[in-house]
């Protein structure tokens, strides 16, 4: 479990020692519901940092913005950026590093775990969102049926042995005419 005081102490220490330009973390939102990203530049501002199960946003996306900002500046600050990273978001960070989009020297990672409290799933259950309602309705005209089958992205469209449309999420049984998709 993450001790918030330890997190704040670590953040204040690296800001005081000027090891990082700023720290990307979470702060309480003005509406009091979902936390929002915060960029902390001074050690006295670390009191704004929070960590709770509602911290669901992936903060690694801001590293992309930092790289673009650094490329535009004539004399960029070469210190790394501190970032609070959950275990699930560390995968995105690893991909950015593997693809050489960011350098390891440009980030200071503060890892937090979600083990006891977890993180709130902000998406509705799959049953309510996609799998219980058809993506394509049965269309009587063969010409319209062809259009209905062909507009779906290829990763949602495949052919069963009998020529009906099959989705990875749910089989809808919409027959597709030969040569349509």
pLDDT (tens digit per residue) in 28-43:
988 878 899 999 999 9
Q: Work out the pLDDT band at 140, boundaries 50, 70, 90.
A: very low
Residues 102 and 149 reside in one and the same domain: no
Count of domains forming the chain: 2
| Structural domain harbouring 99 | 4-112
Q: What is the pLDDT of residue 118?
A: 59
Q: What is the pLDDT of residue 3?
A: 87
Does residue 180 lie in a domain region? Answer: no
Residues 9 and 81 reside in one and the same domain: yes
Give backbone dihedrals phi and psi of 162, rounded to 5 degrees, phi first: -90, 5
67-93 tens-digit pLDDT: 888 889 999 899 999 999 998 899 999
144-153 tens-digit pLDDT: 444 444 444 4
Of the residues 65, 80, 112, the one at which a domain ends: 112
Q: Outline where DSSP puts E strands in 81-170.
A: 81-86, 107-112, 158-159, 164-166
Report d(CA 5, CA 179) in Å as an integer. 63
Instruction: Give the H/E segment covering residue 15.
Output: helix 4-16
Report d(CA 4, CA 93) in Å as an integer. 22
């Amino acid at each position: 479990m993450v001790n918030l005081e330890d997190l704040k102490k670590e953040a204040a220490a690296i800001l005081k020692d000027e090891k990082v330009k700023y720290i990307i973390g979470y702060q309480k939102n003005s509406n009091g519901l979902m936390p929002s990203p915060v960029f902390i530049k001074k050690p006295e501002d670390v009191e704004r940092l929070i960590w709770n199960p509602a911290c669901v946003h992936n903060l690694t996306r801001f590293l992309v913005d930092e790289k673009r900002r650094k490329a535009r500046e004539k004399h960029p600050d070469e210190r790394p950026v501190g970032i609070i990273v959950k275990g699930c978001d560390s995968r995105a960070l690893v991909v950015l590093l593997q693809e050489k989009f960011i350098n390891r020297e440009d980030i200071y990672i503060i890892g937090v775990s979600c083990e006891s409290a977890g993180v709130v799933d902000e998406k509705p259950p799959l049953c309510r969102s996609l799998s219980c309602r058809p993506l394509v309705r049965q269309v009587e005209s063969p010409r319209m049926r062809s259009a209905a089958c062909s507009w779906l992205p290829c990763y949602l469209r495949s052919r069963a042995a009998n020529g009906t449309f099959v989705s990875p999420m749910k089989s809808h049984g919409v027959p597709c005419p030969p040569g349509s998709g």
